[in-house]
């Protein structure tokens, strides 16, 4: 929690232990993802158990470190609801100005601005608080046999996705995410909630690295009669 940024940076140090793994193609892609690492040097991870400077969870061989999302995801989560709040406030303000003000003892414009502004502040505060807490609650762990996610403000949800059940993995970036330099990873299973396994707020590098790593893990543990 002290410095969640290291998550993004964590993707960058070359995982020298990985090439020992079977797949040259996958490694080549990971390698290709390395060069454009112009991020500041990685700060110390509060939960890092290893004395080694190399981020532990980057290696397939030593999984298990909880990782946080990129800080910028808070911007994404705050700005989205802000638009909604703005819209709601405008509509409410207009209604007040046009209709409800007749019944209020105050000036038309004043009451409209008060209602709109009040609503906006209310929604905005809610959005900000929610984004902050949601960001704090988010962790994902690439474990030995499964991907583990935990998140949620009011309802906390922990999801375990065994690699053997992974059908395919997407990364996607909305326009706003591209502006922020973020990426979202979606893991599909044959189960109904497959689309629910979504990891937002990753840097593109992390997302790509995670995608290829999960792909490798999924292939390694492939099951013959999936469905």
Partner 1 sequence: MSDDDSTENDPKRDAAEGAESAGPTSATPRIEGPQKLDVLTIPYQIAQQGVSIAIAIFVFGGGSASALFGSGRSLLAIGALVAVLAGIAAFVGYFVARYRRFEYELTADTFDIRSGVLSRRTREIPLRRIQNVDISQNVVQRALGVAEVGLETAGGGGTEAQLRYVSVDDAEALQSELSRLSRVAKAGEGETAATDEERFETVFSITERELGILALISVDLRIASFLFFGASVFAPSAASMAQPDNWWEYGFGLDSLVGAFLGPLAALGAIALLALVSGVLNAARYYGFTLDRGEEELRYERGLLQKFRGTIPLSKVQTLTLEENVLARALGYAALTIETAGYTPTGGQSNGSQSAIPVAERDRVVSLARSLEAFEDDALERPPKRARLRYGFRYAIGLAIIVALLYVGTAVTDFRLYWYVPLVAAPLVPVAAHYKWNNRGYALGEDHVVTRNGFWVRRQKVVPYHRVQTVFSSQTVFQRRRDLATVTVDTAGSQSLTGQDAKAVDIDSETAERIREAVSDELYGALARRRRQGRDRSGPAGVGVSDAGGPGSPGGESGSPGD
Beta carbons within 8 Å of 215's beta carbon, 6+ residues apart = 26, 169
At its nearest, how many Å lie between partner 1 and the CB of residue 191? 3
At its nearest, how many Å lie between partner 1 and the CB of residue 88? 24
Q: Which SS3 state, helix, strand or coil, does residue 189 take?
A: strand
Residues that bind partner 1 (CB under 8 A): 145-146, 152, 154-162, 164-165, 189-194, 197, 220-225, 227
At its nearest, how many Å lie between partner 1 and the CB of residue 207? 20
Q: Which SS3 state, helix, strand or coil, does residue 113 take?
A: helix
Specify the residue, 131 or 217, whose C-beta has the smaller distance to partner 1. 217
Specify the residue, 52 or 225, whose C-beta has the smaller distance to partner 1. 225
Residues 42 and 110: their CA atoms lie apart, in Å, by 51
Taking Cα atoms as reference points, which of 165, 183, 161 lies closest to residue 174?
A: 183
Residues 12 and 99: their CA atoms lie apart, in Å, by 58
At its nearest, how many Å lie between partner 1 and the CB of residue 167? 9
């Amino acid at each position: 929690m002290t410095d969640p940024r290291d998550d993004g940076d964590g993707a960058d140090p070359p995982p020298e232990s990985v090439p020992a793994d079977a797949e040259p193609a996958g490694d080549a892609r990971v390698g290709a993802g390395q060069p454009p690492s112009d991020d500041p040097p990685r700060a110390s991870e509060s939960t890092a158990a290893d004395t080694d400077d190399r981020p532990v969870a980057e290696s397939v061989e030593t999984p298990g470190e909880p990782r946080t999302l990129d800080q910028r995801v808070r911007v994404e989560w705050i700005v989205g609801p802000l638009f909604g709040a703005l819209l709601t406030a405008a509509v409410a303000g207009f209604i007040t100005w046009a209709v409800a003000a007749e019944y209020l003892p105050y000036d038309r414009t004043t009451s409209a601005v008060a209602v709109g502004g009040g609503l906006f502040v209310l929604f905005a505060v809610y959005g900000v608080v929610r984004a902050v807490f949601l960001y704090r609650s988010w962790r994902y762990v690439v474990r030995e046999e499964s991907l583990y996610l935990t998140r949620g403000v009011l309802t906390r949800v922990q999801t375990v996705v065994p690699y053997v059940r992974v059908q395919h993995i997407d990364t996607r970036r909305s326009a706003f995410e591209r502006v922020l330099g973020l990426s979202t990873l979606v893991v599909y299973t044959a189960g109904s909630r497959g689309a629910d396994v979504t990891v937002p707020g990753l840097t593109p590098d992390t997302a790509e690295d995670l995608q290829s790593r999960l792909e490798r893990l999924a292939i390694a543990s492939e099951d013959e009669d999936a469905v």
